[in-house]
Copies of this chain bind each other. A is one copy, B any other.
Amino acid sequence: MSDQIYQIFEQQQKERGVDVEEVKLRIKQLNIETPSWGYGDSGTRFKVFQQEGVPRDPFEKIEDAAQVHKYTGNSPGVAIHIPWDKVDNYEELKQHAKEHEVHLGAVNPNLFQHDDYKFGSVTNADPAIRRKATEHLLECVDIARTVESKNLSLWFADGTNYPGQGDLRKRKHWMEECLREMYLAMDEDMRMLIEYKFFEPAFYHTELADWGMAYNMAQKLGPKAEVLVDTGHHPQGTNIEHIVAYLLDEQRLGGFHFNSRKYADDDLIAAAHNPYELFLIFYQIVQAQKDRSHGIRNNAENIAYMLDQCHNLEPKIPAMIRSITNVQTLYAKALLINLEEVNEAQEKNDILCAEHAVRKAFEFDVTPLLRVMREESGLPVDPMQAYLNSGYGEKILSRGKGGASW
């Protein structure tokens, strides 16, 4: 029956003017890095529930990440976090990844877990600590060079908890100073992805609190600096896809940290909550990609997609697989939007028709499409089931409890 279902799907799309071959090709090209830290134990401030089988070192994290790519086909990169993934020999780590048919992705400096950073890292009032933080940033540039990663992904916990605690304008300048030094150390083909966050762990002011602050920093630094959008880092109600469209137009959309949330930075499985939001984000990207082919400038073809999630309760590898397949699903749906139809309705201010032209793509069941795409790529048609059947989950239980964690 499944062949028949796909044929019907294909036929339906053809009639709508959608080229299914092109859609499949685009999904195959999707590349979503998974975060090494997402395979370790995580939790809330109240409790980290340790899971059995959690990787004990960066090498095992890569092995787990390789499983996700093996079954989904869309996650060949593994983002690393320094010093969580610090090793003596990065060459070896790189090789290890290669052997497992993945590669090392974005390098993430960590400037929030050393005691020195209690009152800030690149914004600390103490120049010695700012120096230390800058050195770590420079170290990460070196690591990136070694592991042949082109992306440096920067998230800063810097901020304050109380009015008066810090001098907001001085801190702003200190951060710029440190980042400029890092920027100058970067190779020409490297990218600095600057992340912003509404709050947490800082509860009064966060240094880079919104896209505007990250964007302005990127502009000051130069063309190698771009903005990283984490889907969980906004105030409630924020229209994220608007920010995405805005940054695309300004050619400063560097990448994404996908995850979902209902409240704050909940870091749940991508698209588990309000899946329509991720669809609408992809709608902006897909439209911008098409506009490029008509000569409109934007940077929709060079976006670094990454997951950034905490699987506090659910098993890590399956949760990553679910996240990847969710992203595939919503990207596929966005690719089914007939953009001409939307555009025509927009020009007539026919709201109901324009909205419907977008929405109906969301309503399609893309399961048959993804199934065929996977078959064509030599992948299991049901990645989750294939992983569960593989015995890998049972095998790693021998690692026991107490693996890597934040």
Interface residues of A (CB under 8 A from B): 1, 4-5, 8, 11-12, 42-47, 49-50, 112-113, 115, 118-119, 125-126, 157, 161-169, 172-173, 198-201, 203-206, 209-213, 215-216, 234-239, 241-242, 245-246, 248-250, 261-264, 266, 268-269, 272-277, 280, 283-284, 287-288, 291, 296, 298, 312-315, 318-319, 322, 329, 342-343, 345-347, 349, 351-352, 354-359, 362-365, 367, 384, 406
The minimal Cβ–Cβ distance linking A217 to chain B, given in whole angstroms, is 11
Whether A346 lies near B125 (C-beta < 8 A) is yes
Chain B residues in 8 Å Cβ range of A296: 169
Q: Which residue of B lies closest to A157 (CB)?
A: B46
Q: CB-CB < 8 A to A209: which residues of B?
A: 239, 242
Within the assembled complex, what's the spacing in Å between the Cα atoms of A345 and B268?
19
Instruction: Give bound CA distance, A157 to B47, whole Å.
Output: 10
A-B residue pairs in contact (CB < 8 Å), sample of 11: A1-B12, A5-B8, A47-B113, A166-B354, A168-B242, A236-B236, A237-B262, A273-B276, A274-B277, A275-B276, A365-B365
Assess A249 versus B169: contact at CB under 8 Å? Given A212-B215, A236-B236: yes
Known: A199-B237, A209-B239, A275-B362. 11 other contacts (CB 8 A): A43-B201, A162-B351, A163-B273, A163-B359, A166-B354, A172-B249, A200-B264, A204-B239, A216-B250, A237-B262, A274-B277
Minimum CB distance partner of A348 in chain B:
B125
Partner of A163, one of B173, B280, B291: B280
Question: Do the beta carbons of B168 and A284 come within 8 Å of each other?
Answer: yes
Q: Please, how many angstroms separate the alpha-carbon atoms of A365 and B356 in the complex?
A: 15
- Known contacts A118-B49, A235-B238: A262-B199 contact under CB 8 Å: yes
Inter-chain contacts of A273 with B (CB < 8 A): 163, 204, 276
Partner of A263, one of B47, B199, B249, B365: B199
Given contacts A167-B343, A274-B277, contact A314 B157 (CB under 8 A): no
